[in-house]
Amino acid sequence: MNVFFRFMTLQDLDRIIEIEQCSFTLPWSRSSFYQELTNNPYARYIVMEYDGQIIGYCGMWLVMDEAHITNIAVLSEFRGKKLGEALMKQAMELAKKEGAQTMTLEVRVSNIVAQSLYRKLGFLNGGIRKRYYSDNQEDALVMWVKL
């Protein structure tokens, strides 16, 4: 499956919000993405396209030598095809090119599929953020990788 990666633009926001709402119980708002793209000098957002349609995206903050994944999502019908892995690898490569030496993220303790992907990419457990997710008070597993 041939996919194309590029930086997210404001014109992508309608599609990004669709994917966000299908993917998360606590989706980010359009204004949150707008603020990230227009007012956050640390933010980098990439999209993944297939046949001219955005099917996934990943965002991160780059601060000093650290990258923090803010969100990553792939449309459900494209999951299980190693596209999340391709998207994460693209984000990791971008972070490395921008000078990051480490990358971190939070993932629900119940999201075993995502944790498996992150471990495959070299991420290690770093700690637990108690009651991190406000929808159900679920803990977040903090994971780290050296780039």
- Active-site residue set: 106, 118
% helix, strand, coil for the chain, step of 5 = 35, 35, 30
Count CB atoms within 10 A of the CB of residue 26. 9
* Residue 47 · residue 78 · CB < 8 Å: no
Contacts by 75-78, CB closer than 8 A, 24 or more apart:
75/19, 75/22, 75/23, 76/22, 76/23, 78/50
102 vs 92: CA distance, rounded Å:
9
Q: How far apart are CA 33 and CA 36, in angstroms?
A: 5
Closest CA to 58 of 50, 66, 68: 68
